[in-house]
Amino acid sequence: MSGKTETPRVAVMRSYLGRARGLGAAGTGVEHWWAQRVGTVALLPLTAWFVFTVLHLAPMDRAAALNFLHAPWNATLLVAFILVTFHHMQLGLQVVIEDYLQAGTRTMAMLVMRGTIGLVGLACLLAALRLAI
């Protein structure tokens, strides 16, 4: 911290107990934690499928690739991969923002992050649905 020599002044006219009260656990963390674990487990097979798909499609022309992703199971797995991946990204980046950004910039960063991930995620989802139908 920069102010090692500066004498701190407290401008808050409240007792220590009054300040500490209500500052315990937020009480909403379990949902986030659990969603992240479930997403992680789901991503293990989905990522393996995605890596296989990328390698499988690499030598194909566009028509063959379209045909591959049109197949019911491949379309299903692609949609699942997109949903879980973007959800996982959003949960992870949320923690990064909470850890490193101060209260002033945090909300804006969170909105920009969620907005960007939401839009790119929707674009991918629509593309996958167009391929499927």
Partner 1 sequence: MRDVRDALLVGRNSEGRLVRRPMSPFMIPKDYRPQLTSVLSISNRISGVALCAGVLLAAWWLLALTVGDAEFAEVRRFTVSPVGLILLFGWTLALVYHTLGGLRHLMWDTGHGFDLPSVHRTGWAAVGLSLGLTATLWVGAIWWLG
Total residues binding partner 1 (CB under 8 A): 42
* CB 12, min distance to partner 1, A: 5
Out of 27, 62, 72, 133, name the contact with partner 1 by CB under 8 A: 62
25 binds partner 1 (CB under 8 A): no
- DSSP-assigned states of every residue in the chain: ---SSSPP-----S-HHHHHTT-S--S-HHHHHHHHHHHHHHHHHHHHHHHHHHHHHTTS-HHHHHHHHHSHHHHHHHHHHHHHHHHHHHHHHHHHHHHHS-HHHHHHHHHHHHHHHHHHHHHHHHHHHHHH-
Ranges within 65-104 binding partner 1 (CB under 8 A): 65-66, 69, 85-86, 89, 92-93, 96, 102-103
